Structure 1
Amino acid sequence: MELSTFDYTIIIVFFTIVLSIGIYVSKKSGKNTSEYFLSGRTMPWWLLGLSMVATTFSTDTPNLVTDIVRTNGVSGNWVWWAFLITGLLTVFVYAKLWRKSNVNTDLEFYELRYGGAPASFLRKFRAVYLGVIFNVITMSAVTLAAIKIGSIMLGLEPWQTVVSAGLITVTFSALGGFKGVVYTDFLLFFVAMAGAIGAAYFLVNIPEVGGMKALLTNENVADKLNILPDFSNKKALITLFIIPLAVQWWSSWYPGAEPGGGGYIAQRMLAAKDENHAIGATFFFNIMHYALRPWPWILVALASLVVYPDIASIHEAFPNVAEDKLGHDLAYSAMLTKLPSGLLGLVLASLVAAYMSTISTQLNWGSSYIVYDFYKQQINPNASEKKLVAVGRLSTVVLMVFSALLALLLQNALQLFDVLLTFGAGTGLIFILRWFWWRINAWSEITAMFASGIISIILKLTPVGAYFFASETGVFPDWSEYLFVVLVTSVIWLTATFMTQPESKSVLQSFYKKIQPGGPGWDKVINEAKHDQTDIVNDKEKWSVPSGLLAMLLGCILIYSCMFATGYWIYGETTNALILTGIAIASGFSLIKVWGKMKDSIL
């Protein structure tokens, strides 16, 4: 595929602007760690919300959605649509708690909520476990997508894509810090959305596809259109709908969709001006992430089934692609090669934008763990601010190198999504309950983390998993593997919780006084404090969780209705579209009333 001078001009101008932003803010970002990792906690909700959206719009996301749609149809997206419940729980219950904690990273929370050596170990271990291992794996999936795009669209070797894309990203990430990431995310969001929508519109109307009507009636597409899975297909119903909605959203820790908030979402909440801005940012993110973005990717995925009905047809069209990189996720990049000059340059710039946004966020977030939660805690407690910023910049480069090397060994995004999902299975409930149940202790989290990881490794990498959960010959149906990990992990951590000592009275009372989480799960601590004549309850602050849960429910109805109404408008199913639009409007007004009782305003 040949790029025109106009295409190159668009890409070069884009790169220039992004690097200029990184260089411009580098001096202020390098001033201290608060500026480098949290931008001085002065960020407004709309800028943080756009940054969250841009970050989760990575190069592997359209590839993942394409893989899902081609394999399981549109309804297969419930494996990630279900995480909306997690996201809105964070918005209406946990966002204000995170901002009130005033910690520098979500891992610093461990020594606020827990005490002693177990809390210190948990913080340092998870700094390496999440900040390095999980972070490198996540970034490698994003880089793998970039490799496939470079291979299909530009004929680049994997190492060429890794070096060219990674070098620019790591440069502005290391220089600009968190402020550079957020400021560039503002630009990256609009470039990425323009590219995705423009590509979808053009590709649906190419001669091979023949427009929307022809697409929807094509024999390769017709059975992939349902938003809900086929209820007569027991396996599809359980794996694609029931498990995600009933179990997965609360039970699994997954980057960007952590139950109770965490990771780079927590980083942005902690960088907000105040609690209201933290709530506004996360709500804005969830609306944009679920209601706005999926359909351009879905339409390209459906169109790809017409042009490239199977993997063999993709391989035939692109014979130079390595065998170990072939997969359904390649279809997205393959479709983009049909774009005209100008739009092609914009779409390539949008994919670069998606890559840079996600990687820069992961780098800054992972680096914050290494600096605050490992280096400063374990190696050099007296390090100067200048020294800590230098360590942050160095760790940014090292994380980029490790993720690039791992990306060269991977095959497809869906493969990695499944592994990460299983690795965090069973741990999510702790992250939800630890704010509202005094009995959760550091050993609860340590046990759950190791239990989930070890069980997942045994099932994924040894013959045990194949024996018990193979699709055709296993003792149990393969869809029950995830439920097994959740059940066993939950039993193990609950057992450990009651077999170990609770956190000390002083730790629990200090945590409650600072956060004011409220609820019956803290009655024992409050009563003990009264007995000790210690005042830990702020009588002016009412418990907002019941209203928060109602707001979460209304928010889910609003966003799902918007998402599916959009789909039915696209399908031309006017009656369903009108009904869902009406439901969206009604739930929106109800949400405004409930939210008004919780907060006067988010602005």
Structure 2
Amino acid sequence: MDFIDVLIISLYIILTLGVGIWVSKKASKGLDYYFLGGKSIKWYYLGLSNGSGMFDVSGTAWMVGILFLYGAKSFMFMWMWPIWNQIFIMIFLAAWIRRSNIMTGSEWILTRFGDDRAGRASHLIVAIFAVVASIGFIAYFFEGVGKFMTVILPWDLAFVINDSILLTSDQTYALLIILLTTIYTVKGGMFSVVATEVLQYGIMVIAGILIAVYAFITVTDVEIASVISAEWSSILFDMELEGSWTGKYEAFNELIDTQGYKMFGAFIGMSLFKGFFASIAGPTPSYDMQRILSTRTVKEAAYMSGFTNLILFIPRYLLIGGVVVLALVHLAPTMLQPGGVNLNELEVILPKVINNHIPVGIKGLLLAGLLAAFMSTFSAFVNSSPAYIVNDIYKKYFKPSETNEHYIKVSHVASFAVVILGVIMGFFADSINSITLWITSALYGGYVAANFLKWIWWRFNGWGYFWGMTSGLIIATLQFLLDQNKANFQVDSFLYDLAQIPAIYIFPVIFIVSLLGSFLGTLLTPATNMDTLKAFYFNVRPWGFWKPVYKALKLEDNTVTKNTNFSMDMLNCIIGVVWQSSMILLPIYFMIRDYPKTIIALIVFLITTIILKYTWLDKVKKYKD
């Protein structure tokens, strides 16, 4: 690496640490300031912070790999998360969540189920889920940033004693970056996280634009056309995915056959099925929900969520598209030669392209941008999960009357504990893809059913929520253990065959078991106290099956109105998904020089933006806080 690239990265790290520590003094006023910034941060800063937190380097490396291999239709792989839960949040969930006026997602649960034994059981299981999910994501970041830094940086930092490797080079790199990020995150809480993430977002946008311009100037239309086919640039698909590679690149089609997505129609159907329920279930109790609860008003919560969608996808996919164009022209031919990139490690395409095909200066800025992507996402999780440990477990059940200084010190300890557990899990992870599939398909599968029902069904109670979440998490954990030990099972045995099933196809099983636990837990126990339900419904005003609660409220106050926006909300969500998809496809088609499809994507973006202005934004402006 050239000196100027090292200098740019060093300056970025110093600047980030300096900004994070400089604003950290504001976090010492109490838990509300430490975890939510005192609900004083402006919505557009929170939106930039939220978008920055979703711009992670592990996910970017994975997206580069799947766009390279599957072409334009790879944008539908994002539905596994599902990324359009951000649309559901923007359209109606942000307002519902913010009206609660509390600190964490599990504390929010108490406003739905009450503070009795059932409510506390549901409250506790959400806190546990939040911590487990954060540990899983930290493992995901640990795996991704280590691989990325090892390929990019020239120094071998492996720790070897008596020919025994204690730490590989990628593990050492990951530990160093995680340590630096943890320092300012733990010290400054939400203020440091938002301040540094706004800075990091700016660096990422500059990096994305620079790499896109460089790829556009140095790679010709003819070079791109010689590698990709019309099928590569098409978003249409059949039930079975044949692959779009021809001639000397047909080996890439064989890789598609081994990745578990051959039955593409079934995969998309499963992603849509999961995505709908997961999106209505709402954001998981992590940094996304924390940003919503940090906004100053209900109106600003909706603005922040919409702004996150708008500022995230185009700059991110300019970067991804630029890297993929360079990989298609420069890296694809060498990947099929002896000593080329391992076809089963698509996530190393990103660092390989940066290492070998990006010029000095731009390389440093791009590396700083990707490092910023990692640090912003990591810091968001490190700041969110201790809130559940301290506020929802330690403070509520063990030390309810301590000083703010005491709780903030405990928050520091909790942050380090979560990071350490995540790193330990990262040591035992096979790949970014395996953790991605566990988080998206298994762990979140256990979250969906109970959190879907909590919005729409008045009779659903705390015990139903507890057993729905618990049963889902148990099945999810068993699936993860099977996946991690599949190499140890005897071939053709029942456990071996079970372990070979892709995680996305396990989701219906997890969902059904969780749904069964939810219904049994609800119907075998008393309903939630009506006063609690009335207070919740009056504040949040969700649509769904709330007739008994609505009638009871109507007797007390005949001015209470029923939420009849279900049809319009769902229509806006469909429009929003198309809007979001156009922001992904627009930079992809632009970078591969498919100008007719670029124009179509741009027209779709403009039309859906105008529609949402009238059907969503104008309605948000009328919100009363």
TM-score class normalised by the smaller sequence:
0.7 to 0.9
Write the distance in 2 (CA, Å) between the matches of 1:354 and 1:366.
19
The answer for the alignment partner of 1:449 in structure 2 is: 469
| Runs of 5+ consecutive residues of structure 1 not aligned to the other structure | 472-476
Question: Counterpart in 1 of 2:204?
Answer: 192
- 1:493 maps onto 2:513 in alignment: no
Is the alpha carbon distance of 1:590 and 1:401 closer, same or farther for their aligned partners in structure 2, counting shifts above 3 Å? same
Relative to structure 1, the CA distance from residue 423 to residue 315 in structure 2 (aligned partners, 3 Å threshold; closer, same or farther) is farther
Find the counterpart in structure 1 of residue 170 from structure 2. Answer: 158
Task: Measure the CA separation in 2 of the matches of 1:315 and 1:258.
Answer: 48
8 Å contact from structure 1 (residues 251, 486) kept in 2: no
TM-score w.r.t. the length of structure 1 is 0.87
CA offsets 1:491-549 (integer angstroms, 9 cap, x no match): 442343333322122221222233233x452210132345xx544x7537865444333
Match of 2:288 in 1: 265
Does structure 1 residue 27 correspond to structure 2 residue 45? no
Q: Distance in 2 between matches of 1:314 and 1:205?
A: 27
- Once the two structures are TM-superposed, the CA of residue 394 in structure 1 deviates from its matched residue by 1.9
Identity value in percent: 20
Q: Which residue of 1 aligns with 2:128?
A: 128
Aligned match of 1:337:
355
Q: Deviations over 1:345-364 (max 9, x none)?
A: 11121122111101111000
- 1:354-400 superposed Cα distances (whole Å, 9 cap, x missing partner): 11101111000011111111110122111211111111122222222
Whether 1:277 aligns to 2:300 is yes
1:238 counterpart = 2:246: no
Q: Which moved more, 1:293-302 or 1:271-280?
A: 293-302
- The whole-number CA distance in structure 1 between the counterparts of 2:412 and 2:450 is 32
Contact 2:267–2:504, Cα closer than 8 Å, also in 1:
no
Cα contact 1:192–1:347 (8 A) shared by 2:
yes
How far apart are the structure 2 equivalents of 1:520 and 1:601?
22
Tell me, yes or no, if the aligned pair for 2:52 and 2:377 is still in contact at 8 Å.
yes
Task: Check the 8 A contact 1:215/1:303 in 2, yes or no.
Answer: no
CA contact (8 A) 2:449 2:468 kept: no
Counterparts of 1:389 and 1:167, CA distance in 2: 19
Q: Contact 1:203–1:335 at 8 Å: present in 2 too?
A: no
* Structure-to-structure mapping, 1:30-429, within 5 angstroms: 30-81=28-79, 83-115=82-114, 116-131=116-131, 133-155=132-154, 156=156, 157-202=169-214, 210-218=219-227, 224-231=232-239, 233=241, 235-245=262-272, 247-252=273-278, 259=282, 262-301=285-324, 303-309=326-332, 316=339, 327-338=345-356, 339-420=358-439, 421-425=441-445, 427-429=447-449
2-structure distance, mates of 1:602, 1:10? 45
In the alignment, is the contact (CA less than 8 A) between 1:295 and 1:567 conserved in 2? Answer: yes
Q: Is structure 2 residue 547 aligned with structure 1 residue 523?
A: yes
> Once structures 1 and 2 are overlaid, which stretch shifts more, 196-205 or 167-176?
196-205
Distance 1:46 1:541 in 2: 31
The structural deviation recorded for 1:555 is 2.2
Contact 1:203-1:303 at 8 Å conserved across structures: yes
Q: What is the Cα deviation at residue 561 of structure 1?
A: 2.8
Would the aligned equivalents of 1:427 and 1:490 in 2 still touch at CA under 8 Å? no
Q: Of residues 571, 581, 584 in structure 2, which corresponds to 1:550?
A: 571
Q: Distance in 2 between matches of 1:565 and 1:360?
A: 30
Q: In structure 2, the residue corresponding to 1:439 is in which secondary structure?
A: coil
Distance 1:249 1:520 in 2: 19
Alignment deviations for residues 308-348 of structure 1 (CA, whole Å, 9 cap, x no partner):
44997699368xxxx9x972211111111022221121112
SS of alignment partner, residue 379 of structure 2: helix
CA distance in 1, matches of 2:480, 2:548: 42
Task: Check conservation: 2:41, 2:296, Cα contact below 8 A.
Answer: yes
CA contact (8 A) 1:252 1:258 kept: yes
Assess, with a 3 A threshold, how the Cα gap between structure 1 residues 427 and 242 changes in structure 2: closer, same or farther.
same
5+ long unaligned stretches in structure 2: 157-168, 243-261, 483-492
- How many residues align structurally? 578
Residues 415 and 86 of structure 1, relative CA distance in 2, 3 Å threshold: same
Mapped pair 1:467 → 2:492: no
Give the superposition deviation at 1:195: 1.9
Mapped partners of 2:281, 2:458: distance in 1: 20
Do 2:281 and 2:455's aligned partners in 1 also have CA atoms closer than 8 Å? no
Matched residues in 2 for 1:344 and 1:596: separation?
39
Residue type of the alignment partner of 1:94: L
Describe the shift of the 1:236–1:327 C-alpha distance in structure 2 as closer, same or farther (beyond 3 A): same
Q: CA deviation at 1:37?
A: 0.6
Q: Do the aligned partners of residues 294 and 230 (structure 1) sit closer, same or farther apart at CA in structure 2, a change above 3 Å counting?
A: farther
- The answer (yes or no) to whether the contact 2:442–2:510 under 8 Å persists in 1 is yes
Q: Is residue 2:523 matched to residue 1:504?
A: no
Range 357-366 or range 286-295, more displaced: 286-295
Normalised TM-score (structure 2): 0.84
* Matched-pair contact (CA < 8 Å) for 1:251–1:428: yes
The answer to whether the 8 A contact 1:107-1:127 is kept is yes
Q: Compared with structure 1, are the counterparts of its residues 579 and 336 closer, same or farther at alpha carbon in structure 2 (3 Å cutoff)?
A: closer
Instruction: Sort the Cα spacing of 1:540 and 1:456 in 2 relative to 1 into closer, same or farther, 3 A.
Output: closer
